[in-house]
């Protein structure tokens, strides 16, 4: 039956005689077998007995079996098959419940799988699944490591904004380094497509009363503020319907700030939040309440109530804000001054002008300079957010971790890379997620470990860019400290059997077949950080078999990420990166799973993947 089906599918291709490698590749695709062209070329060469660059129908059959009938999958199939040819519906249910932990599997679910993946009609009609169908099921998205439930928004989105981790980018307009690289709209578009919800816009005065976006005092190219806002408007809610925050790094004159305010209002219209929501006069709204809304983050004059009273009035004026400090260290404000520190070391007062029209667009995301945790506890308002540089934040997280966590429970806190990172490199965001910082802003244009962690973390909750913080980072009574040994938490024990690699990426630096190895690493609180490595399999990227088992005990799984990295072992130049995959520990499915691999820049390398068996208990 299998042979009849197989030959009926391919014989037309061979009517004109032998076929070349291109047609072989296309025929494999027609048979729903995902394959990497370079791997097909290698296997084609090994099976082309005449070495003429063309193969017979029998040689194609050999190639098909090498690619489609992988030993490790045949072994699993044979365990559940009574005759090693097919699985009855009852056998499939047994496999799904015992191995895949699909506890609620019913006949209708098994029947659905058969209908979807079994290519042989007679087998399908008999409610059975052949090795062909079983293989296609194992290779499908249903058997990926990432839990299907986590691909949708499943978390409660009605908590206040400060209770969420928010996907955030730094200098979003740059697509390379910070000094001479180009500014590009693609920076904004690609960040939004990745689910980023907080974008940074560095605004400066441009010619002909047109504000521009670029990295000031550098040779980076310039974009018109107007075109940036138009691009954001187009892509803002393509990936996620939850609010977008525009973090303005505002260096413009008041005249051009008014132009900016006009552009924001005309481009976004009703999507722009320009007044408090009636249900949230003195607390931060939830992502749910702010769906499809754009929020402006900037300095602000006066109170939200005063802003509301000015709605509809002429705002063509500015306030010159002056701050003076009296002998008790308290602050007196003149002319509704901004509550920000504007002192040099010599306590001179610096004047700062803000256009009222722009100020009034700032509602729940008012930029407020961070002074101290004590000051914030006494004076900071619910709608004021702080931006803290990574160096200061790291110091505070070591010296005053409990105060820092208390602060992030109440106020949105943004962490940004230090100015010396001229190459647009990134810090490890995990250390700041561990203390509840909502907006950990990274240079999205720079691939590497930090962006792998960022992309992996925000896969969760449907890639919406908002992830509800764990209870212990929201609850005022919690004594959580990521640097201490954790008591009263619910640890998880994970066992991963790394079975094999499937069509792994080939080395970019060598024509030789790579010597492959896999590193599995846990990122989370410091005590949970662990790293394990497989042995090296020589000259095999097509189907390396490791069959190695690793166990991880993770104390704080709510903050933990798991990263798989495939490398080509190198003695002289060190190991070469081939692909990686990162995901939250609590988003893993149990059973036989495929781990899809991604390139350094975050592109899918399908069908390259790892085949694993996962089991965990909490």
Give helix 37-47 / helix 21-30 axis angle, nearest 10°.
120
Catalytic residue among 39, 69, 127, 215: 215
Provide the sign of the torsion angle of the four alpha carbons 112, 117, 119, 122, taken in this order.
negative
Based on its alpha-carbon atoms, the radius of gyration of the chain, rounded to whole angstroms, reads 29
Residue 316 is among the residues annotated as catalytic for this protein: no
* DSSP letters for 580-610: EEEEEGGGBPPEEEEEEEE-TTS-EEEEEEE
Coil, helix or strand at residue 493? strand
Question: Is-contact 320 337, C-beta < 8 A?
Answer: no
215 is catalytic: yes
Answer yes or no: are the C-beta atoms of 193 and 172 closer than 8 Å: no
Place of tokens 């058997």: 143
201's enclosing H/E stretch is strand 198-204
Catalytic residue, chosen from 69, 127, 170, 316, is 170
Which residues on adjacent β-strands are paired with residue 213? 203, 223
Where b means 16+ CB within 10 Å and e means fewer, 505-524 reads: bbbeeeeebbbbbbebbbbb
Query: What secondary structure does DSSP assign to 538-585, as a single string?
Result: TT-SSS-EEEEEEEEEES-GGG-EEEEEEEE--SSS--EEEEEEEEEG
Strand blocks (E) in 308-438: 318-325, 331-334, 352-355, 366-367, 384-389, 413-416
Report the C-alpha gap between 256 and 203 in whole angstroms.
Answer: 9
Nearest 5°: the CA angle 362, 363, 369 is 65
The alpha carbon of 445 is separated from its chain's Cα centroid by a whole number of angstroms, namely 13
Instruction: Report the distance separating Cα 548 and Cα 388, nearest Å.
Output: 43
Q: Which H or E element spans position 169?
A: strand 164-169
Buried b (16+ CB within 10 A) or exposed e, 472-500: bbbeeeeebebeeebeebeebebebebbb
Residues tagged active-site? 170, 215
């Amino acid at each position: 039956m299998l042979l009849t089906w197989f030959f009926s599918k391919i014989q037309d291709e061979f009517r004109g005689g032998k076929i070349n490698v291109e047609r072989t590749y296309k025929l494999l695709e027609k048979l729903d077998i995902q394959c990497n062209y370079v791997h097909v070329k290698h296997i084609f060469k090994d099976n082309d007995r005449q070495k003429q660059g063309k193969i017979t129908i029998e040689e194609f059959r050999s190639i098909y079996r090498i690619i489609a009938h992988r030993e490790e999958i045949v072994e699993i199939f044979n365990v559940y098959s009574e005759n090693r040819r097919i699985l009855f519906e009852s056998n499939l249910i047994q496999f799904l419940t015992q191995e895949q932990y699909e506890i609620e599997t019913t006949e209708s679910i098994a029947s659905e799988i058969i209908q979807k993946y079994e290519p042989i009609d007679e087998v399908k009609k008999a409610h059975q699944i052949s090795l062909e169908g079983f293989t296609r099921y194992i290779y499908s998205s249903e058997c990926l490591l990432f839990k299907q439930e986590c691909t949708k928004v499943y978390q409660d989105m009605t908590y206040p904004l400060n209770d969420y981790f928010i996907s955030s980018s730094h200098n979003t307009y740059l697509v390379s380094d910070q000094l001479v690289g180009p500014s590009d709209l693609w920076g904004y578009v690609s960040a939004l497509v990745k689910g980023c919800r907080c974008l940074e816009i560095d605004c400066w005065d441009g010619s002909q009363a047109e504000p521009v976006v670029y990295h000031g005092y550098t040779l980076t190219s310039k974009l018109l503020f107007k075109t940036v806002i138009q691009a954001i408007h187009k892509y803002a809610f393509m990936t996620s319907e939850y609010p977008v925050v525009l973090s303005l790094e505002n260096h413009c004159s008041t005249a051009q700030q008014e132009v900016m305010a006009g552009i924001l209002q005309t481009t976004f219209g009703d999507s722009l939040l320009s007044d408090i929501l009636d249900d949230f006069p003195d607390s931060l709204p939830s992502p749910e309440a702010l769906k499809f809304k754009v929020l402006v983050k900037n300095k602000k004059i006066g109170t939200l109530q005063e802003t509301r009273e000015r709605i509809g009035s002429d705002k063509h004026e500015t306030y010159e804000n002056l701050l003076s400090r009296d002998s008790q260290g308290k602050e007196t404000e003149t002319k509704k001054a901004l509550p920000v520190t504007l002192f040099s070391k010599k306590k001179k007062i610096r004047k700062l002008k803000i256009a009222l029209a722009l100020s009034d667009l700032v509602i729940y995301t008012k930029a407020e300079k961070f002074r101290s945790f004590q000051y914030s506890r006494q004076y900071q308002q619910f709608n004021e957010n702080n931006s803290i540089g990574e160096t200061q934040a790291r110091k505070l997280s070591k010296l005053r971790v409990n105060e820092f966590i208390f602060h992030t429970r109440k106020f949105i806190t943004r962490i940004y890379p230090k100015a010396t990172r001229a190459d647009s490199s990134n810090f490890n965001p995990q250390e700041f997620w561990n203390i509840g910082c909502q907006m950990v802003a990274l240079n999205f244009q720079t691939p590497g470990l930090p962006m792998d962690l960022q992309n992996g973390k925000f896969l969760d909750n449907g890639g919406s860019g908002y992830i509800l913080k764990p209870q212990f980072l929201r609850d005022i009574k919690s004594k959580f400290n990521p640097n201490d040994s954790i008591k009263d938490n619910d640890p998880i024990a994970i066992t991963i059997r790394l079975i094999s690699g499937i069509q792994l990426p080939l080395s970019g630096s060598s024509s030789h077949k790579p010597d492959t190895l896999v590193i599995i690493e846990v990122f989370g609180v410091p005590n949970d950080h662990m790293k394990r490595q497989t042995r090296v399999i020589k000259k095999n990227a097509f189907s390396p078999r490791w069959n190695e088992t690793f166990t991880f005990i993770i104390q704080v799984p709510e903050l933990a990420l798991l990263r798989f990295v495939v490398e080509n072992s190198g003695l002289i130049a060190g190991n070469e990166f081939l692909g990686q995959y990162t995901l939250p520990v609590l988003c893993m499915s149990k059973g036989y799973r495929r781990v899809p691999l991604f390139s350094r820049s975050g592109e899918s390398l399908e069908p390259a993947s790892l085949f694993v068996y996962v089991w965990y208990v909490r």
